[in-house]
Amino acid sequence: MTTIGITGAAGYIGGAIVQALRRTTCELRLVDNMTGPVSTPPPELPLCREDFASPAALAYLSDCDAVLHLAAVSGVMACAQDPVGSRRVNIEGTARLAEFCHARRIPVALASSLSVVGRPERLPVTEATPAAPTHEYARQKAEGEAIVLRERLASVPSLALRMSNLYGTYEVGGRPIGKGNVINLFARQAVSGTLTVNAPGTQRRDFVHIEDVAAAWASVARHLADGTVPDRWSRVLVASGEDHSVLGVAHLVEAARRVVHPEAPPLRIDIVPNPRGDVELLDERFTVDPRASLELLGIRLRHSLAGDLVDLVRNAESQTLEPPRTG
């Protein structure tokens, strides 16, 4: 039986991957220290509640066929506010994990971010777009890629997954699990009648649903464990190719709200000061072409933002998302 290790297994993305892989025949080795902003401990599955680079966690992962590494201090502001502490986890910890896995010839897949490309000279962004990070979070993700892919040079078929902006919810033990990204936030704000858009609003993002992300990671796990990753591949784009400005998303949510409540007054859209404006790249030009990655992974996206928004607005009215935990 194939054994897959997952660090950050109780986080927003990790929890969705666990749900996807539970439907397969592989054995899961789950690691999470339970200090992240979202807590989704998988019911009825063992969980190693340790730091991912601790001796106990490494021993727990030592006989895996592949390790999916999602544990991190994540987020633009978290890394900007504590660069030393976040680097201790994201760089030093990742290096220990990668070296441990390399010594045992265990492939590693790293959770990276499209933010590593900064302001690319050529669009659309593809798998070949070089890293050119513009803030601390992106710099740490780029360094993490270099660490994991360095192990690839020693014939361990590791990958970096550059993910775009996630949205959507899923269920664990009957509980809806979501995260405060812009799509989920707008869906909840629509209940109050007012959407707040971080200035300038023209910044563009690619958006991909959490269920499609989980399917991509499940395919990566299979390819790494089976040794079927082509030699030319080191980076995979987990994106939809569906890009919108943040203000454009607000208008899409407004249209979805009108479908749900045709008699309701129009939503108010307020543009407010951007708390991340001094560290976040606010690029009006941003397009992604993930077709080659989707072909490699052998998956077809099941979701589109335009097609999902009506359901997201309805669900936001009927459910309370899992509240973030700090730690």
* Least reliable range by pLDDT among 146-150, 173-177, 215-219, 254-258: 173-177
Whether 190 is covered by a domain: the verdict is: yes
What's residue 188's pLDDT?
87
Same domain, 201 and 252: yes
Instruction: List, in sequence order, the alpha helices (H) in the chain.
Output: 12-21, 55-60, 76-81, 83-87, 94-103, 136-152, 182-192, 210-226, 246-260, 291-297, 305-318
The number of domains in the chain is 2
pLDDT band at 125 (very low <50, low <70, confident <90, very high): very high
What's residue 232's pLDDT?
84
Same domain, 122 and 152: yes
Q: State pLDDT tens for residues 178-232.
A: 887 889 889 989 988 999 999 999 999 999 999 999 999 999 999 999 999 988 8
Q: Is 209 exposed, middle or buried (0-12, 13-18, 19+ CB in 10 A)?
A: buried
Cis peptide before 262 (omega within 30 of 0): no
Same domain, 199 and 138: no
321 pLDDT higher than 80:
no
Whether 291 is covered by a domain: the verdict is: no
Same domain, 46 and 184: no
324 pLDDT higher than 50:
no
Query: Which residue, 288, 299, 317, is CA-closest to 211?
Result: 299
Same domain, 33 and 103: yes
153 pLDDT higher than 70:
no
Same domain, 225 and 198: no
Q: What's the predicted TM-score (pTM) here?
A: 0.93
CA distance 241 to 145: 22
Same domain, 151 and 266: no
Same domain, 101 and 172: no
Same domain, 161 and 173: no
Whether 223 is covered by a domain: the verdict is: yes
CATH of the domain at 54: 3.40.50.720
Same domain, 183 and 224: no
Same domain, 227 and 264: no
325 pLDDT higher than 70:
no
Name the E strands within 23-174: 27-31, 47-48, 66-69, 108-113, 159-163, 165-167, 170-172
Same domain, 139 and 223: yes
Task: Give me the domain span that covers residue 259.
Answer: 167-206+242-286+302-318
CATH of the domain at 271: 3.90.25.10
